[in-house]
């Protein structure tokens, strides 16, 4: 088991932007993200929040089997770096996909009220035009 934030390939030194989306279904093709920010403070705030959660690695099959159980609590974020790959994180309830690896949240559920407030606050400031 590891801390959630330790598993995210976030390179503070090479940060360029964060893109965030919440509750977007696969059928919703009208928007790619809720907001985009070049403010590193937004990533730092999200990482501090996620650091309280512990993740345990699971198989792709287990992840896929549990997707239907998680209709609430869906969010994604993408951290772009000037060097290296984009960090891609998908959370669906108590299962998490981070760049090809699958995990379950051991000490969840993730506080979706905090996520909603984080998204709403930043969407007002950083919504793509």
Tens of pLDDT along 40-85?
999 999 999 999 999 999 999 999 988 867 666 789 999 999 998 8
Question: HSE-up of 126 (CA within 13 Å, CB side)?
Answer: 20
Distance CA 33, CA 127 (A): 9
| Other CB atoms within 10 A of residue 99 CB | 13
pTM, rounded to two decimals = 0.89
Distance CA 1, CA 103 (A): 9
CA 12 to chain CA centroid, nearest Å: 16
């Amino acid at each position: 088991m590891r801390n959630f934030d330790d598993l995210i390939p976030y390179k503070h030194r090479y940060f360029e932007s964060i893109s965030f989306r919440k509750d977007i279904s696969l059928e919703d093709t009208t928007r790619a993200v809720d907001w985009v920010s070049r403010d590193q403070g937004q990533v730092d705030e999200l990482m501090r929040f996620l650091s309280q959660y512990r993740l345990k690695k699971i198989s792709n099959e287990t992840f896929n089997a549990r997707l239907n159980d998680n209709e609430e609590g869906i969010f994604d974020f993408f951290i772009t770096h000037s060097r290296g790959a984009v960090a891609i994180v998908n959370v669906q309830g108590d299962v998490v996909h981070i760049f090809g690896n699958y995990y379950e949240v051991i000490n969840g559920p993730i506080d979706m009220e905090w996520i909603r407030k984080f998204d709403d606050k930043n969407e007002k400031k950083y919504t793509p035009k």
